[in-house]
Amino acid sequence: MLRWGAGAAAALTGAPALTACGQTVGAARTTRQEPTRPGQKVRLVFWTWVPMQKTVDLWNRTHPDIHVELQNIPANVQGGYQKMHASLTAGNPPDLAQVEYHELPGFMLVNGLTDLSAYGADELRDSYVPWQWNQGVFGGRVRTIPQASGPMGLFYRKDLFEKWGIETPATWAEFEQAARVVKARGGGARLCTFAPNQPPWFAAMCWQRGARWIRTQGDTWVVAMDDDFSREVADYWAKMVRDDLVFIGPDMSSAWYRQVQTGQIAAWVGPQWGDALLRGNAPGTKGKWRVAPLPQWTRGENASANWGGSSTAVLQGSRHPREALQFAHWVNTDPKAVDLNISVGYGWPAATGIFRGSALDKPDPFFGGQRYNDVFTASDRAIDTSWKWSPTTDADFAQLGDAFGAAMAGDGTLASSLADAQKSTVDNLLAKGLKARSA
């Protein structure tokens, strides 16, 4: 599952903006290939928050010379990424780690990723969707192997929509009207939740609208979080909150899952990997869910966005980068491995040609027999891949989430939070020694 991760964007091949800062912090040791003796078993350690033990077991059975040990880590900045950075600083990193696309610039800033081009990774390019492959390309060198993304869609309770006489909303205006119907007829239910704790989700909403929060101009990062598109999105959700059309609170929490399970929440604007969350946490709603395309700002448009997206990285300091690259490629392209990964919330695969015939390509009983991933196939094709992330995204999101929380408590507005976030993002970049300015 790809928490915290809004995700994906065009590759930051404008990497001079990452290398022009002259920072001295970084990994305590660099990657080098250790020779192996004939018959010697190579041992690799892989950190991920996705429960991929069955996939790793399959690898170990079919690749007896390279044993991978899976270690599950928390899926958040304070847990998993903090541990990764600490291991780089201490000089004892795992060989492989799951790193979300929006985190990659930050790892590049501290020399935390192995140059996989030196070990033949460029030859693997055609095996992957181009925009996901490019997430891990910096300065023309491959730094990670893409894993999966999170194209967005609308999960909704078909039974409740029919009960309340709601047509599937095709526009955001219709989505608002649907929310009003749920409030009037739902006996305390609401259409969905606005979650102040999910700036990545809000970023995806702005992404779909046409915003571009980050771009590079030469060696300078240009920040535009307070643009017209993003303010329009902020005002829309502020109105939904003000008119009591949505619940307010953290999503993917125990309370939120309880509301989903009991029908108090009738819809979720979420990523493809959310299917596993609904199945696992609301089993009593089996057969009642359907998936529709994202509502559009203008009827007839076909704009989507992405929330989530991860790569399999070989961290700086590995002693077996060739074998680690071999595993990273296999785990993301082998059909049996991908099917196992999909079953545990891995996300939308980055490998080309993997959809047809996979576990994704079939009617699903949980979604009433709908071939719901056809919706996400179309969504994936409609993502504008020019979106970029900054190397300070962790701090940027934390500050934006704090501002959203304050706004929900009456201190400021969602729109003013964007202005504050734009300023703080510029400040965060400058504090890293990078050149940055507001748009």
Q: Are 308 and 6 in contact (CB under 8 A)?
A: yes
Contact (CB, 8 A) for 69 and 329: no
Does residue 195 share a domain with residue 52?
Answer: no
Together in a domain, 220 and 351: no
Q: What is the DSSP letter of 187?
A: T
Strand ranges for 182-246 from DSSP E: 193-194, 214-217, 220-223
- The pLDDT tens digits for 251-296 are 999 999 999 999 999 999 999 999 989 999 999 999 999 999 999 9
Q: What is the CATH number of the domain that holds 140?
A: 3.40.190.10
Do 109 and 216 lie in one domain? The reply is no
98: alpha, beta or left? (left if phi > 0; alpha if psi -120 to 50)? beta
DSSP 351: B
Domain membership of residue 225 (yes or no) is yes
Nearest to 418 by CA among 245, 223, 208: 223
- 191 with 208, same domain? yes
Query: How many structural domains comprise the chain?
Result: 2
Mention every residue, 6+ apart, whose C-beta is less than 8 A from residue 207.
6, 305, 306, 384, 387
* Residue-wise burial string across 271-302, b where 16 or more C-beta atoms lie within 10 A, e elsewhere: bbbbbbbbbeebeebeebbbbbbbbbbeeeee
- Listed residue (24, 36, 45) closest to 92, CA to CA: 45
Reported as a single tens digit per residue, the pLDDT across 147-182 is 999 999 999 999 999 999 999 999 999 999 999 999
Cβ contact 228:156 at 8 Å: no
Residue 379 inside a domain? The answer is no
Q: Is residue 250 domain-shared with residue 240, that is, in the same domain?
A: yes
pLDDT along the chain (439 residues), means of 10: 34 46 66 90 96 97 97 81 94 96 94 97 96 92 96 98 98 98 98 96 97 94 97 98 97 96 98 93 97 97 94 97 98 95 88 86 96 95 92 93 95 96 97 95
Instruction: Assess if residue 84 is contained within a domain.
Output: yes
Q: How far apart are CA 354 and CA 350, in angstroms?
A: 8
In a domain, 377, yes or no: no
**335-342 and 321-333 helices cross at what angle (nearest 10)?**
70
Asked if 145 and 167 sit in the same domain, the reply is no
**Token pair for residue 402?**
């704090």
Our measurement of the distance from residue 45's CA atom to the centroid of its chain's CA atoms, rounded to an integer in Å, reads 23
Token duo for residue 314: 């070989």
- Locate tokens 């299917």: which residue? 275
Range of the domain at 125: 16-150+307-368
265 closest CA partner among 245, 287, 235, 240: 245
In a domain, residue 222? The reply is yes
Note whether 283 and 427 are same-domain residues.
yes
